[in-house]
Amino acid sequence: MAVLDPKNLPATEEDIDFSDLEDKYSEEVLEDTLDNVVLIDCLPIVDDKKEAKLSALIKKITKNIGKIRENGIHMPKEKSDGKSLSKGYAFVEFENATQATAVVKELNGYKIDKAHVLAVNLFMDVEKYSKISETFVAPPETNFVTKEHMKYWLLDDQSRDQFCIHHDSDLSLNWNNRGKSVEVITSRNKWTETYFQWSPFGTFLVTLHRQGAALWGGPSFKKIVRFVHLSVKFVEFSPLETYFVTFSSDPISLEAVDKALGSGNEHLNPFTDDDVGNHFCIWEVKTGRLLRSFPFVTKEDGTPVTKFGWPCFKWSASESYFARLTPGSKISIYEAPGMGLVGKKSLSVPNVANFEWRPCDDLNLHDRKNHNALAYWIPEVGNQPGRVSIISVPDMNILRTKNIVSVKDIALHWHPSGEALCARINRFTKTKKSTFTSLEIFRLNEKGIPSDVVEFKDNVVVFAWEPKSSDLKFAAIHVTDPTPPQTNASGMATSAVKSNVSFYHFVRTRTKLTVKEEFTLLKTLDKKNTTSISWSPKGRYIVLSTLRTTTVWGLEFYDTEVETLEGVKVTGPNSVQLLNSVEHYGVTDLEWDPSGRYVSTSASVWRHTMENGYSIWDFKGEQLFKTVVDRFKQFLWRPRPQSLLSEAAKDKIRKNLNTYSVEFDEQDRIMESAASIEQLNLRRRLANEWNSWRKTVNARIEELNKLYSQNNTQSVSVVSGDEEVIEEIIEELLEETVEYV
Partner 1 sequence: MRPILLQGHTRPLTQIKYNNEGDLLFTVAKDTVVNVWYSHNGERLGTYEGHQGALWSVDVNSKSTLLITGAADNTARLWDVKTGKQLHVWKTNTAVKRVEFSCDNKHILFVTEKRMGFESEIYVFRIDESGTQSDTPVVVIRPKDSKATVAAWSYFDKYIVAGHEDGSVTLYNWRESDPEKQISKTVKVHQDTITDLQTSKDRSYLITSSKDKTAQLIDIETLDLLKLYQSDTSLNTATIIPDRDYVILGGGQAASEVTTTSSHQGKFESRFYHEVFENEIGRVRGHFGPINTVAVSPVGDSFSTGSEDGYVRVHFFDPDYFKYKFDV
Identify the residue among 125, 630, 651, 702 touching partner 1 (CB under 8 A). 630
If one asks whether residue 693 binds partner 1 (CB under 8 A), the answer comes out as: yes
Task: Tell me: does residue 582 bind partner 1 (CB under 8 A).
Answer: no
Residue 125 touches partner 1, criterion: CB under 8 A:
no
Least distance in Å: CB of 699 to partner 1?
11
DSSP 676: H
Least spacing, CB of residue 735 vs partner 1, in Å = 19
- Is residue 664 near partner 1 by the rule CB under 8 A? no
How long is the chain? 741
State how far the Cα of 180 lies from the Cα of 484, in Å rounded to an integer. 38
Listed ranges 37-45, 130-138, 207-215, 678-686: which one lies at the site for partner 1 (CB under 8 A):
678-686
Could you write out the DSSP letters of every residue in 203-236? S-EEEEETTEEEEEETTTTEEEEEEE-TTEEEEE
Instruction: Give the Cα separation of 654 and 660 in Å (integer).
Output: 10
Q: Could you say which residues in the range 406-465 bind partner 1, by CB under 8 A?
A: none
Closer of 29 and 680 to partner 1 (Cβ): 680
**Cβ of residue 725: shortest distance to partner 1, in angstroms?**
8
Residue from 471, 628, 631, 639 binding partner 1 (CB under 8 A):
628
Q: Which of 565, 720, 731, 738 is the binder for partner 1 (CB under 8 A)?
A: 720
**Cβ 684 to partner 1 shortest distance, Å:** 6
Q: Output 56 or 716, the one with its CB closest to partner 1.
A: 716
CA angle 424, 542, 656 (to 5 degrees): 125
Which of residues 721, 729, 730, 734 is near partner 1 by CB under 8 A? Answer: 721
Cβ-proximal residues to 114 (8 Å cutoff; 6+ apart), any chain: none
List the beta bridge partners of residue 421: 414, 442
670 scored as a contact of partner 1 (CB under 8 A): no
Which position among 418, 539, 586, 621 is part of the footprint of partner 1 (CB under 8 A)?
A: 586
Span 696-715, contacts to partner 1 by CB under 8 A: 697, 700-701, 704-705, 708
Q: Is residue 486 at the binding interface for partner 1, with CB under 8 A as the rule?
A: no
CB nearer to partner 1: pick between 571 and 676: 676
Among 21, 396, 653, 716, binds partner 1 (CB under 8 A): 716
Shortest distance (Å) from residue 670 CB to partner 1: 19
Question: How does 274-306 read in b/e, with b if 16+ C-beta sit within 10 Å?
Answer: ebeebbbbbbbbeeeebbbbbebbeeeeeeeee
- Min separation Cβ 183 and partner 1, Å: 18
Give the C-alpha separation, 305 to 307, whole Å: 6
Asked whether position 677 contacts partner 1 by CB under 8 A, the answer is no
List binders of partner 1 among 600-619 (CB under 8 A): 608-611
Q: How far is the CB of 403 from partner 1 (least distance, A)?
A: 51
**Closest CB to partner 1 among residues 143, 712:** 712
- The Cα 659–Cα 640 span in angstroms is 25
| 687: contact with partner 1 by CB under 8 A | yes
Could you tell me which stretch among 76-84, 569-577, 639-647, 675-683 binds partner 1 (CB under 8 A)? 675-683
- Which one, of 87, 88, 86, lies nearest residue 42 by Cα? 88
- Distance CA(70)–CA(95), nearest Å, equals 9
* SS3 assignment, position 435: strand
- DSSP label at residue 252: P
Q: How far is the CB of 600 from partner 1 (least distance, A)?
A: 19
Range 311-315 contact pairs with CB under 8 angstroms and sequence separation of 24 or more: 311/234, 311/236, 311/245, 312/234, 312/245, 312/247, 312/280, 313/236, 313/245, 313/280, 313/282, 314/355, 314/356, 314/357, 315/238, 315/239, 315/243, 315/357
Which residues neighbour 604 within 8 Å (Cβ) at sequence distance 6 or greater?
A: 588, 589, 612, 632, 633, 634
Per DSSP bridges, beta strands 623-628 and 613-618 are: antiparallel
Number of residues that bind partner 1 (CB under 8 A): 29
Per CB under 8 A, does 550 bind partner 1?
A: yes
289 binds partner 1 (CB under 8 A): no
Q: 490: which residues sit within 8 A by CB, 6+ positions away? A: 606, 607, 608
C-alpha span between 617 and 602 (Å, rounded): 11
Looking at beta carbons only, is 26 or 627 nearer to partner 1? 627
Binding site for partner 1 (CB under 8 A): 550, 585-586, 608-611, 628, 630, 680, 682-684, 686-687, 690, 693, 697, 700-701, 704-705, 708, 716-721
